[in-house]
Structure 1
Amino acid sequence: MSRHYRIVLHIGTEKTGSTALQGALYRHRMLLQSHGLAYWHSPGRQEARGLASAALDDQAGDDYLEQLGCMDTASREAFRQRELADLQSMLEGLPPSVHTVLISSEHFHSRLRQPGQLQWLKQILAPFSQQIEVVVYLRRQVDLVASFYSTHLKNGGSQKLENVARSTCHPRNHYYNYHMVLDLWSRVFGEEALRVRLFDASFLEGRTIQEDFLSLVQCPEVAIHAMSAPERHNESLIPAGQVMLRALNMQVAGLSQDEVQEHDCLEALRHDLIREYRGSGLQLKAADANSLQTHFEASNEWVRQRWFSDRARLFDPVEEAYGQGRGPLQDMTSAQLTLAEAVVAALAKRVEEGQPLTDLDPCANWFRDLAVQRETSAPNTALRLMTLAHRIRPRGPFIARKLEFYRERMPAQPSSGMNALWRHLRDLLRS
């Protein structure tokens, strides 16, 4: 006879610190189990991505299943059965001291959009559940789309942030409409099963999602303290990285099938940009963000009335300073600078000498301003940065004057152009 547990299903949403939470739960799963909480994850992963995919019907598109080669009905059913067998084996093998099972995947939010998919999930958990709680974190929609933008670029996208926001961030899109999301899960699991939280430091218990979630599932304070070491799981890219990645994506999309070597070179640069340029990315301008956010007033008000009646509004209004302070580079590491030189060199190959690299134009301002900041403390670095700015915007008068001044003062050749690209590729081959 199956034992029954309190099952806590964390469904996201996406871009609310889920990776950091799942990493902490995975690394400390033995500590959790010693306090009566078990953490289940899909085989080979740190979260329950496979269970979200298993809940999909056989016709639904899913990038994870495609990566595994599960493209037809038979292979999908075999995958589904493997996932369920692993879950069942774990639940049946837990020691008697375990009373709560934690399951987490933000893909429950983003992938499961039909009642039948949630009914299947509830049905496979029911034989082991004393009660099922559904935990969900909500983030202001304009913040969500800004965080999603780096994912768009990592997946090969080439649209600007403003275009992505206009085309995707609207109340008709389940991904952003919390009324749709919560109503769907309420209808299947019951409104009383939902634990709705706001992804906001002023709201979260302990100011991090890890501490908030662990407090919510009644994890002992001693374990919460042990699992609350500061860590950063920022999957976004800083603005310069986003601009360069977008330009590389456009270049890759324009290659023919015969240009294999150049394709591989650009893909290597894409991979390195994603690794080296992590951080907070672009935001919409305040006026655009405010206009976009007003479209969600009705759906957000529905959520507020049911779960946050003590608040005047679900999310704080968009600030006048929104979107400012995310553009200029504060500094660049040596690896970031060398990589930027390699990216500019690769993109310049297809542009006639003396012509601007228009897709990188925002970077010209950032490289220029950082060069001016560093011209006294690090003149060689300033020369390299201004050389980049000049190659991107060769007709900029201020950039040209500054570059001439730097060269007269320090005639050493900057590390740029094709030499930088080949050095970077050489280092890649050695690593």
Structure 2
Amino acid sequence: MPKPDLILHIGQSKTGTSSIQRVLGARREALAGLGVCYPLSPGWANHGLLPASLVPLERLGHFHPNVWEGLAPAARLARFRAAFAAELAALPASTRLLLISAEQMSGLLDTEESLGALRDLLAPHVGSVRVVMYLRRQDSHFASGYTQALRVGHVGPPMLPPAGPEQRRDYDYHAILDLWARVFGEAAVQPRIFEPESLLNRDVVDDFLAFCGIPLEVPKDDPDRQSNLSLTPGGIDLVRAMAEALTATPAGLNGSSPLWRRFVQAANEHLPGRGWKPGPAEAAAFLARFAAVNEAVRRRWFPDRPSLFAPMAVPEGAAPAAAASPIDRAAALTAALTLILRETEAAMAREAQLQSSIGRLRERLGEHDGARTAWRAALRADPAHPMAQQRLAEAALANGDRATAEAHLAVLKAAHPAHPLTQRVARMVAKAAHA
């Protein structure tokens, strides 16, 4: 039986990897129908468990605690190894392509030994191999990754670091690609440029699917395309201010604690924005440190491009790098008020839904008084909650109280005129009126 081809998508982070992975994870069945396996055992979307299983445990401190599913990392990785081996052994005969995506591969697997272990693990199950990595201009990548650093508790001020490829090995793209080429072969390594002009339809999801030869249509407005967004400037100041406040507490700031994770998750949900951008002169000075390694990548993998990345436009007289900016307390306060308002609205919606579920359960148990109490509690959180309004209207009709039912119907018509429950109550009220 012929073995499927293998595509290893190794990053880079902040190049649409989360969007690609979420699109693939949400469409496993459709992919299987096209002869493509996007394995589940390494992760629902991000296959980070695979590279994590090939390095010492002490290197995995930055992994989100949810990855371990409540287990010790060693136990979770042992379970993964067994599940992954079984999944590969059970690949259907119709599988033509095995697709693995984890941006951690380009960061964690940084020696010939670790890459050799990956190659040897997969070799018995696959045929030809392609390795794809999207490259983003170093200054742009660092600026985009600043929000990601905030999420894990690295809360320094927004500024580009005074470092070049000797200190920032993650930005030495030539060294990374050369390592993968030495292990998997020169022809296997096929990097791409993460710039709108270089992407199919100016979109990384479309570009990646075309690269893989996967004829999968993903609507432009699909929410999976919008993943891992940055923050507004005020949101960044708010996160910095919260980190400052937590640092002053006895417990301190713990970037992996559930409290911090939940706070930054809420900030990202309610304060999405374009993040922080360095000034053009600061960006140009940072990028200049990587000119030699970028040129080496261009000569080796992109000989037809005049430069690896599109040239930067630096206006004459652009200001040099500014000092680290202090927290803008006014912007942080405005962001905090927005966050509190939206979290309160979300909490009220959750409360209404919870009470609605309690009402349905009590109704099934025959506890009609308790059910009505729960419906009323739902309306205190959301006065126009359609199910609570409908259930109370029907309860009123069952007691012969048409006036109360009509009052509930009036609320439904005002708030949810086209809702099926509004139409149901209207029919019941009309029927009662003609009885």
Displacement after TM superposition at 1:170 (Å) = 4.3
Worse-superposed segment, 47-56 or 137-146: 47-56
| Alignment-mate amino acid for residue 241 of structure 2 | A
Aligned to 1:154: 151
Mapped to 1, the partners of 2:157 and 2:147 lie a distance apart of 11
Spell out, residue by residue over 1:165-223, the C-alpha distance to the aligned partner (whole angstroms, 9 max, x if none). Answer: 21566443221110121111111111111111001111112321111111111123xx2
Aligned to 1:276: 270
Spell out, residue by residue over 1:261-316, the C-alpha distance to the aligned partner (whole angstroms, 9 max, x if none). Answer: xx999886544323211121111111110000000000000100011101111012
Aligned pair partner of 2:307 in 282, 307, 313: 313
Displacement after TM superposition at 1:64 (Å) = 2.8
Q: In 1, are the aligned partners of 2:8 and 2:101 still within 8 Å (CA)?
A: yes
Aligned pair partner of 2:124 in 122, 127, 133: 127
Local SS of the residue matching 1:175? helix
> Relative to 1, partners in 2 of residues 1:268 and 1:62: Cα closer, same or farther, differing over 3 Å?
closer
Aligned to 2:281: 287
Aligned to 1:30: 29
Mapped to 1, the partners of 2:339 and 2:134 lie a distance apart of 43
Aligned to 1:4: 3
Aligned to 2:90: 93
Aligned to 1:62: 61
Q: In 2, are the aligned partners of 1:141 and 1:293 still within 8 Å (CA)?
A: yes
Query: Where in structure 2 are the equivalents of 1:158-177 lying within 5 Å?
Result: 158-162=155-159, 165-167=160-162, 170-177=165-172
Local SS of the residue matching 1:8? strand
| Alignment-mate amino acid for residue 112 of structure 2 | P
Local SS of the residue matching 1:310? coil
Query: Where in structure 2 are the equivalents of 1:242-391 lying within 5 Å?
Result: 242-257=236-251, 270-320=264-314, 359-361=326-328, 364=330
> Relative to 1, partners in 2 of residues 1:102 and 1:321: Cα closer, same or farther, differing over 3 Å?
farther
Displacement after TM superposition at 1:118 (Å) = 0.9
> Relative to 1, partners in 2 of residues 1:44 and 1:306: Cα closer, same or farther, differing over 3 Å?
closer
Displacement after TM superposition at 1:59 (Å) = 4.5
Local SS of the residue matching 1:7? strand
> Relative to 1, partners in 2 of residues 1:269 and 1:125: Cα closer, same or farther, differing over 3 Å?
closer
Local SS of the residue matching 2:143? helix
Displacement after TM superposition at 1:5 (Å) = 1.5
| Alignment-mate amino acid for residue 175 of structure 2 | M
Aligned to 1:408: none
Mapped to 1, the partners of 2:219 and 2:344 lie a distance apart of 40
Aligned to 1:184: 179
Aligned pair partner of 2:210 in 211, 215, 226: 215
Mapped to 1, the partners of 2:44 and 2:6 lie a distance apart of 19
Local SS of the residue matching 1:40? coil
* TM-score, length basis structure 2: 0.68
Query: Which sections of structure 2, spanning at least 5 residues, go unmatched?
Result: 319-324, 351-435
| Alignment-mate amino acid for residue 140 of structure 1 | R
> Relative to 1, partners in 2 of residues 1:426 and 1:298: Cα closer, same or farther, differing over 3 Å?
closer
Aligned to 2:104: 107
Query: Which sections of structure 1, spanning at least 5 residues, go unmatched?
Result: 325-357, 368-387, 393-414
User: Would you say how many aligned residue pairs link Structure 1 and Structure 2?
Assistant: 336
Spell out, residue by residue over 1:359-382, the C-alpha distance to the aligned partner (whole angstroms, 9 max, x if none). Answer: 543x64x69xxxxxxxxxxxxxxx
Q: In 2, are the aligned partners of 1:110 and 1:175 still within 8 Å (CA)?
A: yes
Q: In 1, are the aligned partners of 2:266 and 2:343 still within 8 Å (CA)?
A: no
Mapped to 2, the partners of 1:318 and 1:240 lie a distance apart of 27
Q: Percent identity among equivalent residues?
A: 29
Mapped to 2, the partners of 1:146 and 1:132 lie a distance apart of 32
| Alignment-mate amino acid for residue 188 of structure 2 | A
Displacement after TM superposition at 1:58 (Å) = 4.3
Mapped to 2, the partners of 1:294 and 1:259 lie a distance apart of 35
Aligned to 1:198: 193
Spell out, residue by residue over 1:147-175, the C-alpha distance to the aligned partner (whole angstroms, 9 max, x if none). Answer: 1100111112221111xx21566443221
Displacement after TM superposition at 1:100 (Å) = 0.6
Aligned to 1:16: 15
| Alignment-mate amino acid for residue 247 of structure 1 | A
Worse-superposed segment, 283-292 or 243-252: 243-252
Local SS of the residue matching 2:128? strand
Q: In 2, are the aligned partners of 1:20 and 1:232 still within 8 Å (CA)?
A: yes
> Relative to 1, partners in 2 of residues 1:227 and 1:49: Cα closer, same or farther, differing over 3 Å?
farther
> Relative to 1, partners in 2 of residues 1:275 and 1:108: Cα closer, same or farther, differing over 3 Å?
same
Q: In 2, are the aligned partners of 1:53 and 1:65 still within 8 Å (CA)?
A: no
| Alignment-mate amino acid for residue 45 of structure 1 | W
Local SS of the residue matching 1:172? coil
| Alignment-mate amino acid for residue 60 of structure 1 | R
| Alignment-mate amino acid for residue 168 of structure 2 | N
Mapped to 2, the partners of 1:50 and 1:259 lie a distance apart of 26
Mapped to 2, the partners of 1:21 and 1:89 lie a distance apart of 25
> Relative to 1, partners in 2 of residues 1:264 and 1:295: Cα closer, same or farther, differing over 3 Å?
closer
